[in-house]
Amino acid sequence: MEKKEKLYEGKAKILYATDDPDLVIQYFKDDATAFNAAKKGTVESKGIMNNKISTKIFEFLASEGIPTHLVKILSDREMLVKKVDIVLVEVIIRNRAAGSLCRLLGIEEGRELSEPILEFCYKRDDLGDPLINEYHIHALNLATPEEIAAIRDYTFKVNKLMSKFFANLQLELIDFKLEFGRHKGKIILADEISPDTCRIWEVGTGKRLDKDRFRHDLGNIEEAYQEVLSRVSK
Ligand code: ADP
Ligand code: UDP
């Protein structure tokens, strides 16, 4: 398998073509952004840690029957994945209030929710990924009703599986974002699942082990990501 031209460079990853039109390489960078890229920085070795953490989580989810784009990890920063047509809807699940939910509803961080909240956002950097609902999705033809049903079903399953997986590692999954894509007519889980895209708190101490350390200048970012990597590698 040969690495070919750069297809796209995003905020945290670069996509490269391969000699197989169905496969692309995701290259994980150390660049970090927050607040719709208003805050920018780099976190040493973040790309390496996110590549490894995402691989572990995708392998676990695949073993539990969730279709993902992961083919295999190729190197420290490179993951071979199935090329998808990304659904322009980001899916967020919240198990406890944090981040934009607190700002939106004026509730305190850490508040327990009686049941998980599922949110959809329109994947549009220039608009700051606005919150939308299924009516917007259908009116704008962002996904078919069947696709959204599959996405919703997979997302709740992923939440159950990942919450349990993390709980066994003494970690609490507070919230996370997923991206799905179309590959050969089927919806599969794509992008990454890492401390950049999840909020993860240490059970007992409540220590933040995710991108909130970067967002809010809490320090020891590398150590936090390394802690998550060590635990998921057990
Ligand atoms: P952003 O585009 O938000 O800056 P990244 O830097 O993470 O994000 O770039 C990775 C891009 O690749 C994202 O836009 C993501 O939707 C897209 N992507 C993720 N997985 C795949 C895949 N398997 N096939 C095609 N595109 C993908
Ligand atoms: N998230 C993400 N990418 C985004 C927006 C959110 O990975 O473009 C993740 C974020 O890391 C958190 C969850 O989705 O785990 C909920 O994010 P929230 O809406 O609270 O975002 P904030 O505005 O606080 O960054």
Contacts of 12 (CB under 8 A, 6+ apart): 28, 29, 31, 32, 33, 47, 50, 192, 196
For residue 25, what are the domain limits? 3-82
pLDDT score of 64: 98
Total-model pTM: 0.98
**Ligand 2 centroid to 146 CA: how many Å?**
25
Reported in sequence order, the residue ranges of 97-170 that DSSP labels E, i.e. its strands, are 112-122, 131-132
| Ligand 1 atom, smallest distance to 82 CA | 23
Q: What percent of the chain has pLDDT over 90?
A: 99
* Residues at CB less than 6 angstroms from ligand 2: 90, 92, 98-101, 129, 175-177, 197-199, 211
Cα–chain center distance at 214:
16
Domain boundary among 58, 82, 106: 82
pLDDT score of 1: 87
Domain boundary among 51, 82, 113: 82
- 99 confidence band (pLDDT: 50, 70, 90): very high
199 touches 22 (CB < 8 A): no
Contacts of 91 (CB under 8 A, 6+ apart): 118, 119, 120, 151, 152, 155, 177, 178, 179, 180
Residue 222 has pLDDT above 90, yes or no: yes
The answer to whether position 230 is within a domain reads no
**Ligand 1 centroid to 154 CA: how many Å?**
19
**Ligand 1 centroid to 114 CA: how many Å?**
32
Q: Say if residue 92 is in the same domain as residue 199.
A: yes
Tokens 């049941």 identify what position?
115
Q: What percent of the chain has pLDDT over 70?
A: 100
* Residues at CB less than 6 angstroms from ligand 1: 8, 10-13, 15, 24, 69, 81-84, 86, 179, 181, 190-191
- The per-residue pLDDT for range 129-180, each reduced to its tens digit, is 999 999 999 999 999 999 999 999 999 999 999 999 999 999 999 999 999 9
Q: Say if residue 121 is in the same domain as residue 212.
A: yes
Map residue 151 onto helix, strand or coil.
helix
Average pLDDT over residues 189-198: 98
Domain boundary among 55, 82, 109: 82
pLDDT score of 133: 98
Number of domains observed in the structure of the chain = 2
Host H or E run for residue 175: strand 171-183
Residue 69 has pLDDT above 90, yes or no: yes
